Amino acid sequence: MTLDLRDLQPCFEGVIPSIVSTTAADGTPNISYLSHVVMADEAHVALSNQFFAKTAANVRANPKAALLLVDPLNGMQFCIHVTWERSLDTGQLFDRVAEQLRASSAQIGMSGIMRLKAVDIFRVDAVESVLSATEPESPATITDMPDLPALAEISARIGAQSEAEGVIDALLSGACEGLGFEHAIVLLSDETRNVLTTIASRGYERSGVGSEVPFDEGLIGTAATSARTVKVNDMSRVRRLGAAIEASSLDENRTRTIALPGLPNALSQIAVPLVTHGEVRGVLFIESLDRLAFSQAHAHALEMIAAQAAAVLALSEMTASEAPESGTAPVAAPPPGDTIRVTHHRFDDSVFIDNVYVIKGVAGRLLMFMLGAYLDEGRHEFTNREMRLSETLRLPEIKDNLETRLLLLRRRLEEKALGVRLLHVARGRIMLEVDGAPVVDSDA
């Protein structure tokens, strides 16, 4: 049987180490394990070989090399005969290999050591399967392919949304109910503070809305800064090296930091950037308890729905800011009930309600703006347009993501149930509801 590189897809997941053998000009063989083999196209593979100068020197003297790849699903082995063609230290393929390497290295706590200098590109001459005395137990296919009709339906549902909330919900349910995953998070970029903020999640004990991941940290940060999908399909190596990050039990009232939701025993993770107009608006992150949960086909499917969501999100921001003015602001009735103590720390715009941490950053500023107008003018209805134009808000001009920040604030208030809520009235319009008499201390 003639084998094709594409038949070997699971072997490229980096779960079982690959092996490379070369020979020096004098015929002395050399053999070593490889950190990464990447399928460059149907006829080429790319090897990253940071440490073993001997392999790199050998192929320049004698371009013939042999690779041994292992199917991580059943242990079957494949020998690939290759010929070295060239070395790359820039370009799209180099970047793809570098990002994948950086992501998985960060996961095993070796990010500093594993910096990629160059990749070697080899032409594939022949692919052979190695004899096995035992029958493989499972077919050599990774988890089922996502089917196109399901994908089309998810895409159509996302496209039908006119507001940010609907887009994010359609994206999450598409990834979960549509493609069969159970644990997913959507985070949105905040360029003003170089972080990604959780806007919604599925399948976790805590929603983690408002939790943040710095750009460039871990899989999520790498996907955001590189605008590329990154995945790890065997997290057990991570745990073996003791680099797993424990599910955090941070006291958010003290640290003003909300913990990211997470599966402590996840075996596979994938982070897909939400890109539109070449800009990363956020990241869709999914994890699974299964090893090898994310095939290349899954990655492509997720990239398609993520791109669709990013485009519709951008459009919803535009239409929300064009929504009409609210007209004469109704005067709120004097609020019944108890005093609600609101504390605002100006240095990071963090807001506490009755000593419970709510949010910080732009979302915190938005909440204070609305509470101020509520107290000073008795207003409780607001439009995106007025907030965007407000000078006191100092909204960052670089990105149009007011709509999603308001959604973040609304969800966080809902979750904390502190007597202050935001209600969605119509496109580009929201209402502030307060169950008591707010007293603001805006300086501490």
User: How long a stretch of residues is the chain?
Assistant: 444
Minimum distance of other proteins from residue 80's CB (angstroms): 10
Residue 240 or 394 having the CB closest to other proteins: 240
Structure tokens at 145: 């392919």
Distance CA 116, CA 102 (A): 8
Residue 113 or 318 having the CB closest to other proteins: 113
Residue 63 or 378 having the CB closest to other proteins: 63
Minimum distance of other proteins from residue 35's CB (angstroms): 7
Tell me which DSSP letter residue 35 carries: S
Minimum distance of other proteins from residue 122's CB (angstroms): 12
For the CA atoms of the chain, what is the radius of gyration?
Answer: 26
For residue 162, state whether it binds other proteins (rule: CB under 8 A). no
Residue 65 or 284 having the CB closest to other proteins: 65
Do β-strands 268-276 and 279-288 pair in parallel, antiparallel, or remain unpaired? antiparallel
Minimum distance of other proteins from residue 221's CB (angstroms): 24
Which residues are CB-neighbours of 129 under 8 A, at least 6 positions away?
Answer: 1, 3, 76, 77, 78, 79
Tell me which DSSP letter residue 177 carries: I
Q: Which of 41, 60, 85, 113 binds other proteins (CB under 8 A)?
A: 113
Minimum distance of other proteins from residue 161's CB (angstroms): 41
For residue 72, state whether it binds other proteins (rule: CB under 8 A). yes
Residue 28 or 192 having the CB closest to other proteins: 28
For residue 74, state whether it binds other proteins (rule: CB under 8 A). yes
Q: Which residues of 139-160 are buried (b: 16+ CB within 10 A; e: fewer)?
A: ebebbeebeeeebeebbebbee
The residue behind tokens 């907030």 is 387
For residue 31, state whether it binds other proteins (rule: CB under 8 A). yes
Residue 137 or 246 having the CB closest to other proteins: 137
Count other C-beta atoms under 10 Å from residue 232's C-beta: 26
For residue 21, state whether it binds other proteins (rule: CB under 8 A). yes
- Give the residue among 241, 269, 256, 229 at the shortest CA–CA distance from 343: 256
The residue behind tokens 């292992």 is 70
For residue 265, state whether it binds other proteins (rule: CB under 8 A). no
For residue 140, state whether it binds other proteins (rule: CB under 8 A). no
Q: Which of 68, 402, 409, 431 binds other proteins (CB under 8 A)?
A: 68
**Stretch touching other proteins by CB under 8 A, among 77-85, 89-97, 350-358, 382-390:** 77-85
CB 432 within 8 A of CB 370: yes
Tell me which DSSP letter residue 10 carries: G
Distance CA 12, CA 59 (A): 21
Residue 27 or 149 having the CB closest to other proteins: 27
Binding mask 233-262 for other proteins (x = CB under 8 A): ---x---x----------------------
For residue 33, state whether it binds other proteins (rule: CB under 8 A). yes
Distance CA 303, CA 29 (A): 42
For residue 130, state whether it binds other proteins (rule: CB under 8 A). yes
Minimum distance of other proteins from residue 82's CB (angstroms): 10
CB 350 within 8 A of CB 357: yes
Distance CA 165, CA 408 (A): 9
For residue 79, state whether it binds other proteins (rule: CB under 8 A). yes
Minimum distance of other proteins from residue 54's CB (angstroms): 6
Q: Which of 10, 22, 357, 405 binds other proteins (CB under 8 A)?
A: 22
For residue 123, state whether it binds other proteins (rule: CB under 8 A). no
